[in-house]
Amino acid sequence: MIPREEGKTGTLKKGGGLKVAEEALAGRKAVVVGLASTGVSAARFLRKCGASVTATDLRPLEEIPEAVVLKEAGVEIKAGGHEGISFTGGELVVVSPGVPSGSPLLKSAREKGATVISDIELAYRFIDAPVLAVAGTNGKTTTTTLLGEVLKNAGNRVFVGGNIGTPAIEYVENGVGADFCVLEISSFHLETTDTFNPHVGILLNITEDHLDRYRDFTHYAETKFRLFENQKKGDFAVVNVNDPVIAERSLRGLGGGTVIPFTVWGTLTEGLYYTGEEIVYRRNGAEELYPVRDFRLKGVHNIENMMAVIAAARLSGVPREVIMKTFSGFKGLAHRMELVRVLDGVTYIDDSKGTNVGALVMALKGTETPIVLIAGGKDKGGDYGVLSDLVREKVRLLVLIGEARFKIKEALGGLTDTVMAGSLEEAVRISRGRAVDGDTVLLCPACSSFDMFRSYKERGDLFKAFVGAL
């Protein structure tokens, strides 16, 4: 049995919370770029702390619902573009995740000597609790949510936010305090971090995604590795060494923290591995076993997610028994390999959150029955060819939708029976007509939703509605 590592919080940065933020930001000039939820929270927080704030967004004023409230709080808003924004050396520029760090506006800010940071970096500078951060192309939200639940069930006060749900800056703004801050971190956040240093950083995987934003895959991957660049002795890097990109980079060093590896293939003398029946956690010469038979989350990708949670939770002093109990009751999140229904022996699965090729790889690997696959949407620059072997082996029928359907058909259409559909509803009807007893109809688009829907959530909700009406 591995002893509890209770109280081992490493060398933590104590940010001092809201009071220190008010002292540091009062009178500062700040520009917030992008007024989605994180930008709105950042602008509101900066004004609350006494900063002079200008916020800018490409959308016209009437399409920014929070503009009225921000104006009432004293925020100057430049809508419909970035005209009229100028910088001086003392300004603080806070960038929303949707704004590329290489945009001309931010380049101009840096040239004038302004400090350009993400909302995550802004929050981190004042967070007064240990930060546990989850990054990766796929699985971030499930892992972040599950880790938060485990910590809460151990009796801790926990803030869960970042790229999931509540912007991180709201933890500081509300001033309520917590024992742990669990943050989902995207590569977009990491583009403009500076001092950000999670006590426990988790990197789940790196597969092709957002290549419409980055120079190439290497650029994208190196941005992910920034998660660890400020770690030092007493911090931990929990990494999936089954991922070849992460494994290779780990050999060259990730930072100054202790590396805790995990893998679903093979064994490890230190770290976590999977036997097919249980997760084994080895650390400092001791060993713990976590049988998976009673866990509600299924699939190899979820085994990886749970390995990461086990490591982070045990490093945070959570007893094994609390982890086991939480895993046994956690059924997963909507639109992530979510069971919709079983009809006439056919299983319908909603994985609308599978918005890149890597997510589809994991979904196909984790499905043991013949698959009728609904895929397609707005292309993100991924290589569909890497799916060839899995499609040939597992997909009985490929139903393609959206802008990317022609590109996917060119890459994969010759490997299995393939049809085109003009809408998601038509795709569901085709799948219903062609699926047979024992099949799985899987919605895993490997693309974003924005060609046909407002979000992956809307796409998944409509899929569930169409399937429910069969």
**Chain segment 144-163, per-residue pLDDT in tens:** 999 999 999 999 999 999 99
What does the CA dihedral 199, 144, 185, 303 come to, rounded to 10 degrees?
90
Q: What is the reported pLDDT for 99?
A: 85
457 in Cβ contact with 387 (< 8 Å): no
The pLDDT of residue 1 is above 60: no
pLDDT over threshold 60, residue 279: yes
| CATH number for the domain running over 123-329 | 3.40.1190.10
pLDDT confidence bin for 6, thresholds 50/70/90: very low
Among 14-23, 37-46, 53-62, 369-378, the minimum mean pLDDT is found in 14-23
Higher pLDDT, residue 279 or 337: 279
Within 17-87, where are the H helices? 17-25, 37-48, 67-72
Residue 374 near residue 368, CB atoms below 8 Å? no
Angle at 109 (CA atoms; ends 18, 188), nearest 5 degrees: 65
Tokens of 424: 């998601």
Residues 6 or more apart from 179 whose CB is under 8 A from it?
129, 130, 151, 156, 157, 158
Q: Which residue has the higher pLDDT, 8 or 93?
A: 93
344: its two tokens: 């006439």
- Model confidence band, residue 5 (pLDDT cutoffs 50, 70, 90): very low
The mean pLDDT value for 7-12 works out to: 34
Q: What band does 15 get if pLDDT is binned at 50, 70 and 90?
A: low
CATH of 27-113, one of 3.40.50.150, 3.40.50.880, 3.40.50.720, 1.10.10.10: 3.40.50.720
The single residue listed with the structure tokens 């909603």 is 350
Phi, psi of 74 (to 5 degrees): 100, 15
Asked if 98 and 187 count as a contact pair (C-beta separation under 8 A), the reply is: no
Nearest-10 crossing angle of helices 17-25, 37-48: 80
List the Cα angle 230/231/235 in 5-degree steps.
Answer: 160
The larger pLDDT score, comparing residue 333 to residue 229, is at 229
Q: How far is CA 263 from CA 9, 305, 360, in A?
A: 25, 10, 19
Classify residue 324 as exposed, middle or buried by CB count within 10 Å of its CB (0-12, 13-18, 19+).
Answer: middle
Strand partners, 372: 397, 441
Name the pairing type of β-strands 131-135 and 200-203. parallel
For residues 181 and 201, what is the distance between their CA atoms, to the nearest angstrom?
A: 12
Q: What is the pLDDT of residue 300?
A: 87
The segment(s) of the chain belonging to CATH 3.90.190.20 are 338-468
What does the block give as tokens for 339?
């069971």
Does residue 47 surpass a pLDDT of 90? Answer: yes
Where is mean pLDDT largest: 215-224, 364-373, 425-434? 425-434
Mean pLDDT value of segment 34-50: 94
pLDDT at 11 over 60: no
Segment 391-403 mean pLDDT:
97
What pLDDT score was predicted for residue 170?
94
Percent of the chain with pLDDT over 90: 77
Cα(147)–Cα(276) distance, integer angstroms: 22
pLDDT at 12 over 50: no
The residue written with tokens 């926990």 in the block is 158
Predicted TM-score (pTM) of this structure: 0.84
In the chain, ranges of CATH 3.40.1190.10 domains: 123-329
The segment with the largest mean pLDDT, out of 75-79, 87-91, 96-100, 315-319, is 315-319
**Topology of domain 338-468, CATH:** Protein-Tyrosine Phosphatase; Chain A (3.90.190)
Which band of pLDDT confidence, cut at 50, 70 and 90, is reported for residue 290? very high
98 contacts 36 by C-beta, under 8 angstroms: yes
The 10s digit of each residue's pLDDT in 197-234 is: 999 999 999 987 766 787 888 898 999 999 999 999 99
pLDDT at 247 over 70: yes
Express each pLDDT in 102-149 by its tens digit: 888 898 899 999 999 999 999 999 999 999 999 998 999 999 999 999
pLDDT for res 13: 40
Indicate if the pLDDT at residue 7 is higher than 70: no
Domain with CATH 3.40.50.720 in the chain: 27-113
- What is the per-residue pLDDT for 81? 85
Cα gap 135→185, rounded to integer Å: 5
Does residue 239 contact residue 227 with C-beta atoms inside 8 Å? no
CA angle 133, 231, 5 (to 5 degrees): 70
SS3 helix, strand, coil % of the chain, rounded to 5?
A: 35, 20, 40
Q: What is the mean pLDDT of the chain?
A: 92
